[in-house]
A and B are shown apart, each in its own frame.
Chain A
């Protein structure tokens, strides 16, 4: 197991490097560059000389491999450089937005877990009754409803029924928790519904599988209380695949909130990414993708460790 984990740990680095190469190349294939776009705003005719000078300032005149090496060497030391568009350090640009997106992702996960696990278990226990059908249809509908549209519907309902709109300006949690919650609970619910649908389906099918196992029958035969059978024998064993999907979805949320952030006018990582691509802000796009993908890779690795912790059979293999 240790050897396996070590191998998984070491494999993270080539993957990250691959991500770095891929985004570095992709963003440079996009037609137009940051200098052209920024200077085109000032006047229509910019001399080639000015363009070349501007490019030199950002190091864009150097050979591509040299640009790449400089960037990767910086990224290794967690120094992502400065935004090519605003000139501010990337760290400053990302800090608050990262906090916002991360908080939203965590809140959506909490919403999803709170809905998914009880519903999934009930649905499995009452298989093929009307409760099961309602839960299943609700979860398939959850997968089908675009979360950005659900967000629009939430805002609409709040407006029509309560004549109230969630605050539009972001307040960090540590400044005013109440204001912060009032604003973020709606996107968290909108995203959480879809997320819970994925997890509910997994909980249900994992529970159904476990409930057919021999040791559950044994537990029932020896007269164990049903509650204990469910919590200690069934749920504990059904949890592994559920944890997997919850982790996977969580890892994707950080970068996957783009559209929901747009609806709720939240200045998160997603919105920043869309703007950065529009500006051809190479350094910012690269940093964002590397962070989001790195987060995904690390969460995946953490999941493997969690597996070993949850399931002793894996630990001793």
Chain B
């Protein structure tokens, strides 16, 4: 490139190398961690399926057809129908929307709130840190599902409330891990420098500390994704999560699926496989990401 080239061209070239670097990083990840790449591929597939549910699903997921009640997997209904004659495959496809919405929603909010709390607690230290720790201890002593159950009982089971119910038990778990990484970052010279330069607390936390806990944050985020999907399906299975007739995998396993398990096993088997596959993919990807970013965090 000539020295006299226009500044626009330089920016373009820089962007191009950045894109190439990013691509090569992705290629590297796939080559070194084939399992993680498989997980990522399944996740990507799931997102595509959820986005194109309207086109892909052969039937309306809530359309009741009593003539086709409990029919076996066949050419018309690939995965059979349930006790209302609804197509299981279509419900699975639409169910991926519910799972992804709750999964990404809860994991993103939970990990972010936890990160802010953890970093803040580590940064300010002292009494504030002590009190937050005690508060986290209290929340941590509740079993995940019991806390979620109580919150759903209070707020009702609309889908966004479900996200909150799943998020709240995750926050202290995230805050705990992030806090311990942030503690060592607080001692770094560049944080001292920022403080000496007269930056405010908010700026130091957001610009200097948060970016440096990105690795544990991303790892927690992917770990929570799978857990959130599992928790949502558990709650829906108990009848306390997503309500009929919305398509959700956990809900599909509830009631009739167990009652008619012997005569119509497809109703019980496929939704469970979908949950397992989704969580499996997220875990596979998350595991490889963890190994790549920070092998020390193996305990998660």
Give Cα A201 to B299, complex, Å: 9
1/0 per position for B275-288, CB-CB distance to A under 8 A? 11111101110010
Q: Is the CB of A273 within 8 A of B149?
A: yes
Among B110-118, B134-142, B213-221, the stretch that binds chain A is B134-142
Q: Which residues of A contact B277 (CB under 8 A)?
A: 144
Of A202, A245, A252, A254, most B-chain CB atoms within 10 Å: A252
The interface-forming segment of A79-87, A225-233, A257-265 is: A257-265
CA distance A180 to B151 in the complex (A): 34
**Which residues of A, 32-66, contact B by the 8 Å Cβ criterion?**
none
Interface residues of A in 143-189 (CB under 8 A from B): 143-146, 148-150, 152-153, 155-156, 159-160
CB contacts (< 8 Å) of B161 on chain A: these are: none
Given contacts A140-B283, A152-B261, contact A259 B237 (CB under 8 A): yes
Give chain B residues whose Cβ lies under 8 Å from the Cβ of A144.
Answer: 226, 230, 275-280, 282-283
Cβ of B171 under 8 Å from chain A: no
Q: How far is the CB of B266 from chain A (nearest CB, A)?
A: 11
Tell me whether A262 and B238 are in contact (CB under 8 A): yes
A143-B146 contact in complex given A29-B154, A160-B262, C-beta closer than 8 Å = no
Q: Could you say which of B137, B144, B151, B234 contacts A15, with CB atoms under 8 Å apart? A: B137
Q: Is the CB of B138 within 8 A of A18?
A: yes
Contact B143 A156 (CB under 8 A): no
Complex Cα gap A58–B245 (Å): 39
B residues in contact with A19, CB < 8 Å: 138, 141-142
A59 to B17, CA, bound (A): 72
Q: Are B253 and A155 in contact (CB under 8 A)?
A: no
Beyond A144-B279, A278-B153, list 18 extra A-B contacts (CB 8 Å): A11-B134, A18-B135, A18-B137, A23-B150, A141-B280, A144-B230, A144-B275, A144-B276, A144-B282, A145-B272, A149-B253, A152-B253, A153-B269, A156-B265, A160-B262, A256-B144, A270-B145, A274-B238
With A15-B134, A15-B138, A18-B138 known as contacts, the answer to whether A255 contacts B145 (CB < 8 A) is yes
Sample (9) of A-B pairs whose CB atoms are under 8 Å apart: A11-B134, A145-B276, A148-B253, A149-B253, A153-B272, A252-B144, A255-B145, A270-B145, A274-B240
User: In residues 181-225 of chain A, which contact B (Cβ within 8 Å)?
Assistant: 201-202, 205
Which residue of chain A has the shortest Cβ distance to B272 in the bound complex? A149
Q: Point out the residues of chain A lying under 8 angstroms from B222, CB to CB.
A: none
Q: Please give the number of chain B residues whose Cβ is less than 8 angstroms from any Cβ of chain A in the complex.
A: 47
Say whether chain B's binding surface is mostly helix, strand, loop, or mixed.
helix
Query: Given A146, A201, A202, A293, which contacts B275 in the complex, CB threshold below 8 Å?
Result: A146
- Residues of chain A lying within 8 A (CB to CB) of residue B146: 255-256, 258, 273, 289, 292
> Are A146 and B230 in touch, CB under 8 angstroms?
yes
Contact with B along A238-254 (1 / 0, CB 8 A): 00010011000000101
Check if A297 is an interface residue, CB within 8 A of chain B: yes
Report B147-186 CB contacts with A as 1/0, cut-off 8 Å.
0011101100000000000000000000000000000000
Partner of A30, one of B134, B153, B282, B299: B153
B257 part of interface (Cβ distance < 8 Å): yes
Which residue of A has the minimal Cβ distance to B269? A153
Of residues 95 through 121 on chain B, the ones whose CB sits less than 8 Å from some CB of chain A are: none
CA distance A31 to B154 in the complex (A): 7
Partner of A146, one of B139, B234, B262: B234
Asked if residues A146 and B261 are in contact (CB atoms below 8 Å), the reply is no
B93 within 8 A of A: no
B268 at the interface (CB under 8 A from A): yes
B81 within 8 A of A: no
Question: In the complex the two chains form, is B138's CB within 8 Å of A152's CB?
Answer: no
Ordered nearest first, which 4 A-B pairs have the shortest CB separation? A149-B272, A255-B143, A144-B279, A18-B138
**CA–CA, A5 to B275, complex, Å?**
42
- Residue contact B272 to A293, C-beta cutoff 8 Å: no
Cβ of B258 < 8 Å from any Cβ of A?
Answer: yes
B280 touches A152 (CB 8 A): no
Question: B142 touching A30 by the CB < 8 A rule?
Answer: no
A293 touches B238 (CB 8 A): no
**Inter-chain contact B230/A263, CB cutoff 8 Å:** no
CA distance A293 to B234 in the complex (A): 20
The residue in chain A whose Cβ has the minimal distance to the Cβ of B140 is: A296
Contacting pair A156 B153 (CB below 8 A): no
CA distance A156 to B258 in the complex (A): 9
Flag if A146 contacts B272 (CB, 8 Å). Answer: yes
A14 contacts the other chain (CB 8 A): yes
